[in-house]
Amino acid sequence: MAARGYGATPRWAAVGLLVALLVALPSVVAALPADDADVPAADLRAAVLASADVGFSGYAVSAGGLALPVSDRLTAVADLFSDRTLVRVWWRGPEEHRVDVVTAAGETGVHRDPGGTWTWDFEAATATRGSPASLALPSPPDLLPAALGRRLLSEAAEDELSRAGARRVAGRDALGLRVVPADAASSVGRVDVWVDPASGLPLQVEVFAEDADLPALDTRFLDLDLAVPPADVVAFTPPPDATVLPAPDTEELIAQAEERAPDVSLPDELAGLPRRTFAGVPDAVGVYGRGVTLLAAAPLPGRLAGGLREALTASPDAVTDELGTRVAAGPLGLMLVTPPDGPAYVLTGTVTLDALADAARRLPGAAS
Amino acid sequence: MIGVELRKLFRRPRTWVTIAVLNALPVLVAVLVQLTDLAPRPGEGPPFLSAVLTNGALFPLAALAIVLPLFLPIAVAVVAGDAVAGEAQAGTLRYLLVRPAGRTRLLVAKLVAVIAFVLATVLVVAGVGYVVGTTLFDAQPVGGGTSVSGTSLTQQELAGRSLMAIGYVTVSMLGVAAFGLFFSTLTDSPLAAALGALAVLVTSSLLFTLDAASPIAPYLPTRYWLAFVDLFRDPILWRDVVRGLALQGVYVGVLLAAAWANFTTKDVTS
């Protein structure tokens, strides 16, 4: 029998060395420097905007820190911006792709084909067929780095763009492209888009609120394969035992909402941002601004206004004065305007609380 | 020496009592679900349980998902914690070491016996789950089944993926076994060793639910346990499965090395 401790030191030293090596390995890999390349910001943006047809498949994670003060009817949207969402994607083009939101015990897959979308929900065993809508709530495909990056860069002006070094994302060297919005009303401090220079695909997008160190929204690829995925992976046929549902008709819903909306005419400019028009947006809704600085204004029927007020005042940061109630979730501002005479309004967008108050004063019938 | 340990383990009545108790819970759940026709609402309860009402052939997976978070690791921790400390407590360890086989080989033999126990347990739970599932619920023997992604799987694909899941769950338990075995070389009390391994598991499960602990989440031993669900997506999502296997490998390697460093230099008196 060996006496206690005989030969113990070298053996424990070997074990300690093994542990130290294993603990250090991830940080060493993470610290590997990324190769920067001398690509001007404007060229990088052009490459990103041209990347919609690049085929790829991958695994992405989006993490949001935005606690949206919404009612329980919009929990899916609220979860999207406040939780970690894991997404698998197969992209053959803007009209042919598949995006699966992966959860621990199930998944929800959106299969897009030129005729519309199939949405498969494993846990409910339902397949929903929808048609492409011009106006829709945010959904997981919108938060993919590639889609979000293209959207946020699409309206950026040349003088808002700068380069921001390089970093490794999903095992690739990604070049940084920074957007600092020029509008004084903007609540977005900056947007960093990390781009794969060869394909132009955004690999990571970070949105920072004004003066924030941590991103309010961070979406990035964990794995990326730059090969066009096979068509049969993207296509979908409902399984025989699934319930097949038609999607709610959003065009009809919007038309109904427009009929019920109070009749007002919104100003041509709010908070220094010019009004603009989009196809599919009803006249009762005003959209203002450009790029990452956007503001939407809409009159509200009284019934909805009461529910929204409850949701907003429940937030500890809510500011209530003679104009109404306003609250910020990261860079996203939301305000319920309650004028002394005339209908209530909802204002929301990536603008500061001061800009929201300024906009509220200019609405028809508002307290000045 | 491995044969001796295996015979010893599987001749013990308590090994079989443990396996029987492990099967009792899924069977009880199956009977209750069948009697009340109330599967958990989609998205709640253990994975696959809500799908069992339409396809009983999925019940082996639901049964594994039921025992995986708590029952199975407790059983593994008890068996692994008993491996060396049990001999010490019974006063048989020093007689065991008189044989010329060496302490390292004894450790390896103990680990192999624990692995055999895990594999036997998982197979029995899956087998009983299959029998219970196909007896109590409608099975779909012709059409195979539906993957998590909504594509159709043939009977062969479903069977193949179920086998992979059984293998994956077995490997997932190796980390627990290694913790139990390591603690078992530290103490002469099998209870303390089993509780030590359980403490590690409870800590890991708790930290995994905390957002603040997300930087260390990829290194938690329980992090990838539920990744066996990924084997039923189409195409299979290998990322977490591969990481789960590698992580268990690292834990087994490190803890076995620590157990070896401790046990081969320990003064065995009982």
pLDDT tens, residue by residue, A171-205:
899 999 999 998 888 999 999 999 999 999 999 99
User: Are A242 and B150 within 8 A, CB to CB?
Assistant: yes
Give the Cα separation of A39 and A41 in Å (integer).
6
Going by pLDDT thresholds of 50, 70 and 90, the confidence category of residue A11 is: confident
Q: Give the closest-approach CA distance of A165 to chain B in angstroms.
A: 24
Reference B143, options B228, B59, B63, B55; nearest CA is B55
Give the Cα separation of B47 and A190 in Å (integer).
41
Question: If you count residue pairs, one on A and one on B, with CB atoms under 8 Å apart, how many are there?
Answer: 95
Cβ–Cβ contacts within 10 Å for residue B74, how many? 18
B152 CB within 8 Å of a chain A CB: yes
At residue A73, the pLDDT reads: 61
At residue A1, the pLDDT reads: 41
- The mean pLDDT value of chain A amounts to 85
Going by pLDDT thresholds of 50, 70 and 90, the confidence category of residue B141 is: low
DSSP A198-233: TT--EEEEEEEETT-SS-SEEEEEEEEE-SPPPHHH
Residue B268: how many CA atoms within 13 Å on its side-chain side? 24
pLDDT, tens digit, for every residue of A37-64?
888 999 999 999 999 999 999 999 998 8
User: Are A104 and B47 within 8 A, CB to CB?
Assistant: yes
User: Are B42 and A121 within 8 A, CB to CB?
Assistant: yes
A97-118 mean pLDDT: 89
Reference B226, options B206, B244, B212, B207; nearest CA is B244
Residue B234: pLDDT above 70? yes
B146 CB within 8 Å of a chain A CB: yes
At residue A121, the pLDDT reads: 87
At residue B14, the pLDDT reads: 86
- Chain A hits for B254, Cβ within 8 Å: 15, 18-19, 22
DSSP A249-285: -HHHHHHHHHHHS------SEETTEEEE--TT--TTS
Extract the tokens encoding A219.
């979406």
Going by pLDDT thresholds of 50, 70 and 90, the confidence category of residue A264 is: confident
Q: Are B112 and B177 in contact (CB under 8 A)?
A: no
Q: Are B107 and B263 in contact (CB under 8 A)?
A: yes
Percent share of chain B, pLDDT over 70: 94
pLDDT, tens digit, for every residue of B86-113?
888 887 887 777 777 778 888 888 889 9
B267 CB within 8 Å of a chain A CB: yes
- What domains can be seen in chain A, in order of their start residue? 41-246 (2.50.20.10), 250-361 (3.30.200)
Q: Are A178 and A190 in contact (CB under 8 A)?
A: yes
Q: Backbone dihedral region of A170: left (phi > 0), alpha (psi from -120 to 50 degrees) or beta?
A: left
Give the distance from CA A231 to its chain's centroid. Answer: 27
Decide which of B238 and B40 is more confident. Answer: B238
The SS3 call for residue B9 is helix
Decide which of A195 and A9 is more confident. Answer: A195
Q: Which of A22, A120, A241 sits opposite B250 (nearest CB)?
A: A22
pLDDT, tens digit, for every residue of A319-355?
888 888 888 888 888 898 888 777 888 898 899 999 9
Helix (H) or strand (E) holding A98: strand A96-103
Alpha helices in B12-70 (DSSP H): 13-36, 59-67
Task: Quote the crossing angle between the two packed helices B174-186 and B71-90, to the nearest 10°.
Answer: 30
Give the Cα separation of A295 and A186 in Å (integer).
9
At residue B144, the pLDDT reads: 63
User: Are A11 and B250 within 8 A, CB to CB?
Assistant: no
B73 CB within 8 Å of a chain A CB: no
Q: Is the ipTM of this complex over 0.85?
A: no
Interface of A with B (CB under 8 A): 1-8, 11-12, 14-15, 18-19, 22, 59, 88, 100, 102-107, 109, 120-125, 127, 222-223, 233, 236, 238-242
Sign of the four-CA dihedral B111, B112, B116, B119: positive
At residue A3, the pLDDT reads: 46
At residue A223, the pLDDT reads: 93
Highest mean pLDDT pick, A239-243, A362-366, B77-81? B77-81
Give the Cα separation of B270 and B259 in Å (integer).
18
